[in-house]
Amino acid sequence: MAILYALVARGSVVLAEFTSTATNASAIARQILDKIPGNDDSNVSYSQDRYIFHVKRTDGLTVLCMADETAGRRIPFAFLEDIHQRFVRTYGRAVITAQAYAMNDEFSRVLSQQMEYYTNDPNADRINRLKGEMSQGCFDFITTSDHLCCAGFCMPWTCTTYVPEVRAAVE
């Protein structure tokens, strides 16, 4: 799973972009920018060969990324939301009148860093991170319950639900 290209634009004016590989993503992205209907906020995805272009338009600002098809939708759209927030926080109302690539020198580094994070860090996927935290919490609870049961302080619901073999040993 990889996010390989990203840009931020106002209408069809690209304000910042970054690519991690040599592709024609930039040309395809510009075609997508020209063809996105209306000015309403939207989240859409377009497929091109084995890549998916994910687009988030909010308040006239468009954030787009190209990811391989194994990335799904959740992580690329989390990436787009993060980039949108960072861009607005950094530049505010300056985006309204900015020239093409006006923010590229500075913000392309942010795009690169966040592409790396969302591609490689398992914590980028919030749902999987929460599942892991919940699993760890259950493991800690089972371990704690196991110690309580062995010390003679077994509560029936704990042993029946989580540690049935300890309940049998206590009874």
- Contact (Cβ atoms closer than 8 angstroms) between residue 34 and residue 55: no
pLDDT, tens digit, 9 for 90 and up, residues 53-85: 999 999 889 999 999 988 888 999 999 999 999
Is residue 162 pLDDT above 50, yes or no? no
pLDDT, tens digit, 9 for 90 and up, residues 132-161: 555 555 444 444 444 444 455 544 444 444
> What pLDDT sits at residue 148?
47
User: What's the whole-model pTM score?
Assistant: 0.72
What are the structure tokens assigned to 37, written together? 């209907």
> What pLDDT sits at residue 170?
43
> What pLDDT sits at residue 142?
47
Is residue 126 pLDDT above 70, yes or no? no
> What pLDDT sits at residue 133?
55
How far apart, in whole angstroms, are the C-alpha atoms of residue 93 and residue 84?
A: 13
pLDDT, tens digit, 9 for 90 and up, residues 82-118: 999 999 999 999 999 999 999 999 999 999 999 999 9
pLDDT, tens digit, 9 for 90 and up, residues 2-49: 899 999 999 999 999 999 888 889 999 999 999 887 778 889 999 988
Structural domain spans, the chain: 3-124, 127-170
User: Top-level CATH class of 3-124?
Assistant: alpha beta
How far apart, in whole angstroms, are the C-alpha atoms of residue 121 and residue 118?
A: 6
Q: Give percent of the chain with pLDDT exceeding 90.
A: 50
> What pLDDT sits at residue 32?
93
**Residue type (1 letter), 1:** M
How far apart, in whole angstroms, are the C-alpha atoms of residue 66 and residue 99?
A: 23
> Which comes out higher in pLDDT, residue 131 or 22?
22
